């Protein structure tokens, strides 16, 4: 038998999916119909991987130290898109400035955590798990939100969705995991590969690991079906730029408009690790970011959902104040966070600009713990139990 | 024991103690007493050969390269190129180790070393291949020896000292990271020491440093020579004294035994007092033996309770176990080895890049909707050259981007079908499905599973094709993720 025949004849693809126990399927269908206890609010998180240089994103254009420490990469004052007397946006972010002028953007400066870690993977881990810097958690804060939101009811991994092929630690909970979906159609096809509908298998084995695999599979198959059903009607989507973030936000918009009961969406884009020749690279990335977010917000406006959707953007750390010898910047600490949309009070910069005279080992000193933002979003915005999710109480920023 | 259960026990042992078996190996093991198979595993793992991707004298750290660039001996393009080459060497080290795991030679040693890699989790900082090469050879060399030797050796590894910031731990400027992790993660476990013990132990570890060429060095001038009080003992302790105190503490044996039990016996150790007593007993023996790892493993693998049905099939294969196991069972090699980096990244276990100092959480943490679908599709990517459309995330670090980007639209592989098929030559057609299943899966097929699979096979007339198709189908079952 040659290879070709082998391929042709062994068309048994996702053999497992057709073996999902009936009782799980029934259970799934039931779980899907459960009321969500939702206040209708949706959170979209955009992670800028690599440590975006916050000082060249929200520029302290009146600060001499900034220009002294960054002789070749500082953004000239006349180019800055002014937000107030002290700070303004990178010139590539015109669409974001427009959103700010419309009252949709909140800027939080100096966000970080105690004893900052300058390694990408560790700091990302800390942001995703909401741990202390000397603590190692196996679950992410969005995953624990999912645990809390479902409160023991299983079968709703689509309540928190990462628009990607793989799932971040942020969306892994104790009992439940979120879902990674880059494209509902593609996921549906994957779970429909051939023969699944012939499911006929009752699984009686009480083994925990086996049950866990089949339960995950059953949830995946039924969630994929649910999402596909909800999204298959072509909806008029806004005019999105054709790059990764644009496409992913377009997917989020489509899911929101489909009426699917998803509360948190998670997206990450990378490329912000700018040790060498930062200006061109950052300009491109920030431009894409502003363009995509603007398209997303306009799309939501058109469909009347702007006040129901809040987009948060963070990066695992900011860069050093002083530029390096390669026209770039090295890993730093505190950074800014954007909150966009969500019906928050009108445009503002929430707190003081970075104090460049008060550095810790040459790095910015944080004044807002990132978990205060999480607590605010969880408690005040999503109406969830922030203490249960974050493990302790963090002061709300009182912005929602 | 009847024939079937003997085979299942052998399969289970070879999957847990190694990376699975070929049908021929399984056949051979089935005809021996398990005690002998365990002995054989230990004997086969007695010798040790180093992994080698870089010669010590040709290694240049990122720091050294940057200095060369500053001094004008390297231009910017060359600097980038050299840093890239370092990353590629770390990748090659990963692939060389994976080859070793899949080869079936010294399989128990490699399995145990994989455990130690998660236990003594360490990441390559600054993409230094020499330090990672030394580190992995240290955990492989001592994998089955005495834990005491391993602990001392790995604690003095430059990669570890660097990863846990002991280079920054100096008299007058202490850094407690190393001391904390040595106690919390390597020996005692959380709650078995005080913050004061850590502070004082950190002082004892001052001066434990390494040279740019990767040699451990004790630097007396940064060492704090004063008296320290650790675990209620006072003296002018050095790092070696702390390690000795930790080994003296029976809690270390208990903690290590508990983790080994979880790794080799079950992902879900119940809190049942029986399990607790069992681990206590093993820990006591482990301690009395002077931390003899091989002895501990032999005790586990020859115990009746090891083979209890409540343990069989509870372990979810880690991505590396899945990959190495599939390769070994099928005699499979990738035409483009880089593909295996892609698989590791997509499934969340990239050797030399553990998520943090606590290592990979393992167990159910390996599985979510996307990783499970990818795992179930893997046999199709590999055996049927189905297009791969998944893309793993980048980790934010510009230096490791090349590990993320290259994947494969198609996996091209060579499989030793001849060897695989030969093992089933005497199996009648109507028993073929069960025969292959029993070499690949932890449980016998259920009647309706068999029916569904056989129905798909009914169109395939020739025997080879049938074996290939059955193998792909059975490997696509959720049960294949388990041992």
Burial (CB < 10 A; 0-12, 13-18, 19+), residue B296, is buried
> What spatial distance separates the first Cα and last Cα of chain B, rounded to whole Å?
20
Judging contacts by C-beta atoms under 8 Å, the chain B residues touching residue A207 are 313-314
Question: What Å distances lie between residue B272 and A205, B277, B279, B283, B313, CA to CA?
Answer: 21, 9, 11, 17, 19
Answer whether B370 sits within 8 Å of A1, measured CB to CB: no
Chain A residues 44-63 with a CB less than 8 Å from chain B = 49-51
Answer whether B365 sits within 8 Å of A138, measured CB to CB: yes
Q: What b/e string do you get for B217-228 counting C-beta neighbours within 10 Å, with b at 16 or more? A: eeeeebbbeeeb
Residue of B nearest to A325 (CA): B70
Residue A233, pLDDT score:
82
Judging contacts by C-beta atoms under 8 Å, the chain A residues touching residue B353 are 121
Answer whether A212 sits within 8 Å of B364, measured CB to CB: yes
Strands, E assignment, chain A = 42-49, 58-60, 81-82, 87-89, 105-112, 160-162, 179-180, 264-270, 309-315, 335-341, 348-349, 368-369
Confirm or reject contact between A26 and chain B (CB < 8 A). Answer: no
Chain A residues 232-291 with a CB less than 8 Å from chain B = 268, 270-276
Judging contacts by C-beta atoms under 8 Å, the chain B residues touching residue A211 are none
Lowest mean pLDDT among A193-202, A307-316, B305-314: A193-202
Confirm or reject contact between A174 and chain B (CB < 8 A). Answer: no
Residue B79, pLDDT score:
84
Judging contacts by C-beta atoms under 8 Å, the chain B residues touching residue A119 are 125
**Closest by CA position to A55, among listed A88, A84, A28, A83:** A88
Lowest mean pLDDT among A20-34, A210-224, A307-321: A20-34
Does residue A7 carry a pLDDT above 50?
no
Confirm or reject contact between A122 and chain B (CB < 8 A). Answer: yes
Residue of B nearest to A140 (CA): B365
Between chain A and chain B, the number of residue pairs with CB atoms below 8 A apart is: 197
C-alpha distance from A329 to closest chain B C-alpha (Å): 13
Answer whether A214 sits within 8 Å of B380, measured CB to CB: no
Answer whether B376 sits within 8 Å of A198, measured CB to CB: no
| B356, B358, B365 member nearest A172 (Cβ) | B365
Confirm or reject contact between A189 and chain B (CB < 8 A). Answer: no
| B180, B369, B389 member nearest A157 (Cβ) | B369
Answer whether B373 sits within 8 Å of A326, measured CB to CB: no
Residue B1, pLDDT score:
42
C-alpha distance from A224 to closest chain B C-alpha (Å): 10
pTM here is 0.92
Answer whether A16 sits within 8 Å of B376, measured CB to CB: yes
Let me know: does B11 contact B438? Beta carbons within 8 Å: yes
Answer whether A51 sits within 8 Å of B452, measured CB to CB: no
Residue B402, pLDDT score:
64
C-alpha distance from B362 to closest chain A C-alpha (Å): 10
Residue A20, pLDDT score:
64
Look over chain A and give the mean of its residue pLDDT values, rounded to a whole number.
88
Answer whether B373 sits within 8 Å of A198, measured CB to CB: no
C-alpha distance from B49 to closest chain A C-alpha (Å): 32
Residue ranges in chain B modelled with pLDDT below 70: 1-4, 271, 401-408
Judging contacts by C-beta atoms under 8 Å, the chain A residues touching residue B367 are 212-213, 216
Judging contacts by C-beta atoms under 8 Å, the chain A residues touching residue B448 are 19, 200-202
C-alpha distance from B256 to closest chain A C-alpha (Å): 19
The model's confidence at residue A12, banded by pLDDT at 50, 70 and 90, is: very low
Does residue A10 carry a pLDDT above 50?
no
Answer whether B373 sits within 8 Å of A220, measured CB to CB: yes
Q: What percent of chain A lies above the pLDDT cut of 90?
A: 72
Lowest mean pLDDT among A42-51, A232-241, B220-229: A232-241
In B334-483, which residue ranges form alpha helices assigned H by DSSP?
Answer: 339-347, 369-384, 401-405, 417-422, 432-440, 447-457, 463-475
Question: Roughly what angle, to the nearest 10 degrees, separates helices B3-17 and B293-301?
Answer: 160
Does residue A36 carry a pLDDT above 60?
no
Answer whether B456 sits within 8 Å of A191, measured CB to CB: no
Judging contacts by C-beta atoms under 8 Å, the chain A residues touching residue B357 are 136
Answer whether A6 sits within 8 Å of B390, measured CB to CB: no
* ipTM of predicted complex: 0.93
Judging contacts by C-beta atoms under 8 Å, the chain A residues touching residue B464 are 1
Answer whether A212 sits within 8 Å of B367, measured CB to CB: yes
Answer whether A1 sits within 8 Å of B468, measured CB to CB: yes
Answer whether B385 sits within 8 Å of A7, measured CB to CB: yes
Does residue A66 carry a pLDDT above 90?
yes
Answer whether B355 sits within 8 Å of A121, measured CB to CB: yes
Does residue A22 carry a pLDDT above 60?
no
At residue A341, the 3 state secondary structure works out as strand
Positive or negative, the Cα torsion across B17, B22, B24, B26? positive
At residue B186, the 3 state secondary structure works out as helix
Answer whether A19 sits within 8 Å of B452, measured CB to CB: yes
| A166, A172, A219 member nearest B393 (Cβ) | A166
Residue of A nearest to B460 (CA): A9
At residue A137, the 3 state secondary structure works out as coil
Residue B4, pLDDT score:
57
- Phi, psi for residue A335 in degrees, rounded to 5: -155, 175
Length of chain A: 400
Which residues neighbour B195 within 8 Å (Cβ) at sequence distance 6 or greater?
A: none
Q: What span, in angstroms and rounded, lies between the C-alpha atoms of A297 and A253? A: 9
Answer whether A207 sits within 8 Å of B390, measured CB to CB: no
Which residues neighbour B222 within 8 Å (Cβ) at sequence distance 6 or greater?
A: B170, B171, B206, B207, B209
Let me know: does A292 contact A245? Beta carbons within 8 Å: yes
**What does the block give as tokens for B339?**
């593909």
Q: What span, in angstroms and rounded, lies between the C-alpha atoms of A159 and A187? A: 16
Residue B213, pLDDT score:
85
Confirm or reject contact between A22 and chain B (CB < 8 A). Answer: no
Answer whether B469 sits within 8 Å of A119, measured CB to CB: no
Residue A155, pLDDT score:
66
């Amino acid at each position: 038998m040659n290879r070709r025949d082998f391929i042709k004849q062994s068309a048994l693809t996702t053999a497992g999916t057709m073996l999902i126990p009936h009782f799980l399927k029934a259970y799934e269908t039931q779980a899907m119909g459960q009321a969500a206890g939702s206040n209708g609010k949706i959170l979209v998180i955009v992670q800028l991987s690599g440590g975006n240089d916050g000082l060249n994103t929200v520029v302290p254009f009146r600060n001499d130290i900034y220009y002294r420490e960054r002789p070749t990469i500082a953004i000239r004052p006349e180019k800055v898109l002014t937000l107030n007397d002290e700070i303004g946006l990178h010139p590539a972010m015109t669409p974001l400035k427009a959103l700010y002028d419309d009252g949709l953007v909140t800027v939080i400066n100096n966000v970080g955590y105690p004893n900052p870690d300058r390694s990408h993977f560790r700091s990302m881990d800390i942001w995703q798990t909401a741990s202390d810097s000397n603590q190692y958690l196996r679950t992410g804060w969005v995953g624990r939100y999912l645990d809390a939101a479902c409160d023991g009811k299983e079968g709703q991994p689509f309540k928190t969705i990462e628009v990607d092929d793989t799932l971040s630690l942020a969306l892994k909970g104790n009992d439940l995991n979120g879902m990674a979906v880059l494209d509902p159609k593609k996921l549906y096809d994957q779970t429909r590969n051939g023969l699944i509908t012939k499911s006929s298998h009752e699984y009686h084995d009480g083994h925990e690991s086996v049950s866990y695999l089949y339960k995950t599979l059953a949830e995946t198959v039924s969630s994929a079906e649910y999402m596909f059903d909800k999204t298959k009607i072509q909806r008029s989507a806004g005019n999105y730029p054709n790059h990764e973030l644009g496409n992913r936000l377009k997917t989020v918009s489509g899911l929101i408009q489909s009426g699917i009961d998803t509360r948190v969406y998670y997206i990450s884009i990378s490329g912000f690790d700018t040790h060498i020749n930062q200006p061109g690279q950052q300009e491109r990335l920030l431009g894409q970011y502003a363009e995509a977010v603007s398209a997303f917000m306009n799309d939501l406006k058109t469909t009347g959902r702007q006040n129901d959707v809040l987009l948060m953007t963070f990066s695992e750390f900011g860069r050093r104040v002083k530029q390096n010898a390669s026209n770039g910047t090295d890993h730093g600490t505190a950074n800014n966070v954007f909150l966009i949309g969500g019906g928050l009070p009108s445009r503002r910069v929430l707190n003081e600009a970075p104090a460049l005279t008060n550095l810790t080992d040459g790095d910015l000193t944080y004044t807002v713990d990132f978990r205060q933002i999480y607590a605010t979003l969880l408690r005040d915005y999503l109406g969830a139990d922030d203490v249960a999710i974050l493990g302790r109480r963090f002061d709300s920023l009182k912005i929602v | 024991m009847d024939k079937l259960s003997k085979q299942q026990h052998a399969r289970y042992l070879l999957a847990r103690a190694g990376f699975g078996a070929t049908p021929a190996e399984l056949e051979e093991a089935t005809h021996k007493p398990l005690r002998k198979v365990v002995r054989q595993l230990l004997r086969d793992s007695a010798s040790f050969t180093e992994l080698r991707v870089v010669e010590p004298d040709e290694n240049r750290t990122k720091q050294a390269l940057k200095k060369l660039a500053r001094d004008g001996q390297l231009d910017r393009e060359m600097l980038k190129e050299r840093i890239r080459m370092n990353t590629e060497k770390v990748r090659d080290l990963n692939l060389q180790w994976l080859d070793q795991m899949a080869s079936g030679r010294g399989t128990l040693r490699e399995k145990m070393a994989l455990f130690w890699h998660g236990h003594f989790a360490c990441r390559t900082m600054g993409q230094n291949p020499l330090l990672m090469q030394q580190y992995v050879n240290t955990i492989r060399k001592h994998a089955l020896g005495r834990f005491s030797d391993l602990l001392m050796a790995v604690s003095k590894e430059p990669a570890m000292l660097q990863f846990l910031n002991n280079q920054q731990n100096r008299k007058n400027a202490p850094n407690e990271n190393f001391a904390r992790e040595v106690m919390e993660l390597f020996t005692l476990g959380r709650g078995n020491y005080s913050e004061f013990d850590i502070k004082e132990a950190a002082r004892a570890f001052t001066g434990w440093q390494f040279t740019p060429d990767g040699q451990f060095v004790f630097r007396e001038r940064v060492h704090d020579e004063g008296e320290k009080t650790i675990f209620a003992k006072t003296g002018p302790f050095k790092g070696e004294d702390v390690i000795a105190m930790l080994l003296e503490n029976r809690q270390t044996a208990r903690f290590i035994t508990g983790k080994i039990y979880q790794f080799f016996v079950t992902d879900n150790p119940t809190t049942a007092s029986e399990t607790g007593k069992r681990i206590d007993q093993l820990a006591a023996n482990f301690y009395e033996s002077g931390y003899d790892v091989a002895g501990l493993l032999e005790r586990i693998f020859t115990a009746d309770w090891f083979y209890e049905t409540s343990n069989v099939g509870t372990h979810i294969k880690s991505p590396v176990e899945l990959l190495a196991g599939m390769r070994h069972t099928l005699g499979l090699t990738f035409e483009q080895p880089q593909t295996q980096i892609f698989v590791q990244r997509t499934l969340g276990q990239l050797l030399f890049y553990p998520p943090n100092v606590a290592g990979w959480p393992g167990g159910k943490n390996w599985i979510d909707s996307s990783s499970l679908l990818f795992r179930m599709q893997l046999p199709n990517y590999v055996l049927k050259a189905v297009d791969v459309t998944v893309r793993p995330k980048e980790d934010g670090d510009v230096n490791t981007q090349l590990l993320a980007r290259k994947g494969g639209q198609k996996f091209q592989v060579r499989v030793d079908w001849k060897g695989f098929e030969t093992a089933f030559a005497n199996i009648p057609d109507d028993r073929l499905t069960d025969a292959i299943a029993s070499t690949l899966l932890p449980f016998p097929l259920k009647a309706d599973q068999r029916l569904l699979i056989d129905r798909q096979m009914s169109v395939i007339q020739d025997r080879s094709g049938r074996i290939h198709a059955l193998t792909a189908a059975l490997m696509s079952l959720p049960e294949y993720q388990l041992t």
